[in-house]
Amino acid sequence: MPELPEVETVRSGLAATVVGRTVVAVRVTGPRTVRRQPVRRFAARLTGRRVTAVGRHGKYLLVGTDRGTLVIHLRMTGRLALVDGPQAPRAPHTHAILTLDDGRELRFVDPRTFGELFFCLPGEPLLGQVTGRLGPDALVDELGPEVLGPLVVRRRTTLKGLLLDQRVIAGVGNIYADEICFAAGLRPDRRTESLRPDEVVRLSAALAAVMERAVAAGGSSLGDGSYRDLFDSPGAFQVEHAVYGRAGEPCRVCGTAVAGTRVAGRSAHYCPRCQS
Ligand SMILES: [Zn+2]
């Protein structure tokens, strides 16, 4: 569930709190948490490393260190918790604990266990193999109509399918794809090859606007056990959702009931009147 705005909120939280800190111990107990490399190798590489920067590409967190990069993907239910020390109550489904040199712990919690951690040494191809498959980042990279237009028309898919394809644009998931379509006035099941130049302009503006507003609100948290930031606080963007999860409720613009359907194998929500 965490999409770009939630991962970006975690990234900025980490950047403000762990840069300059050294990882002094690594404990992995989740059998699936580290799966691209042996757990012992992961722990040996990460132990003793000093965090120098915290980056992100799409939904991947890239924790830069003095020698290599810790890569974290939260997938469905993963989250990071920064706590004061080992005495802090441990959440169920805590699968990895990184102890920092100031005594604090960075914990990886993941009930569904789809999330993962791995560590890449400088020059190791693994990092490029993962991030090299991603399209431009939906927040950081400029996706003006002149960039977006060729990407959109070439794909011959539904608009929602295109927005969800991380190889085209990295970071957008189910919630924000619906919100971007609404903000652009375009139905999620619109064929991309049918989009006119003025509609691509609207899509480009909607993409930037929705990402920026969602990041400013700290992302979205829906229901129990959903996304929380590093300090266990929920996001606030869910109250601004125009269509996602609002099937049958009145459109905030025109009052028409929001429609629910399925597009690209996922749920989709849209206003039949405001979107075409
Ligand atoms: Zn409407």
Is 160 an annotated catalytic residue?
no
Whole-number Å distance, alpha carbon 258 to ligand 1 midpoint, is 7
**CA 188 – ligand 1 centroid, Å:** 14
Note down the domain range covering 160.
145-270
Q: What SS3 state is found at 142?
A: coil
Do 200 and 92 share a structural domain? no
Q: How many domains does the chain have?
A: 2
Within a domain: residue 137?
A: no
Per annotation, catalytic residue among 3, 8, 105, 116: 3
Residues 170 and 111 occupy one common structural domain: no
For residue 96, the domain's CATH number is 3.20.190.10
* H-only helix segments in the chain: 4-17, 39-46, 125-131, 145-155, 159-164, 174-184, 197-216
- Structure confidence at residue 1 (pLDDT): 83
pTM: 0.97
Among 103, 131, 159, the domain boundary falls at 131
Average pLDDT for the chain: 96
131-138: average pLDDT: 96
- In the residue annotation, 31 being an active-site residue is answered as no
Q: How many residues does the chain have?
A: 276
Q: Write down the pLDDT at residue 226.
A: 82
Is 178 in the same domain as 119? no
Q: Are residues 118 and 224 located together in one domain of the fold?
A: no
Residue at 275 is within a domain: no
Residue 223 is assigned to a structural domain of this protein: yes
**Which of 72, 62, 108, 76 is CA-nearest to residue 3?**
76
Q: Sorting pLDDT into bands at 50, 70 and 90, what band is 224?
A: low
Residues 6+ apart with CB under 8 A from 125: none
pLDDT at residue 225 is higher than 70 = no
pLDDT score of 125: 95
- Kindly state the average pLDDT of the residues 43-61: 98
pLDDT at 173: 97
For residue range 106-125, list pLDDT tens digits in order.
Answer: 999 999 999 999 999 999 99
Domain final residue pick, 131, 153, 188: 131
Q: Is the pLDDT of residue 75 over 70?
A: yes
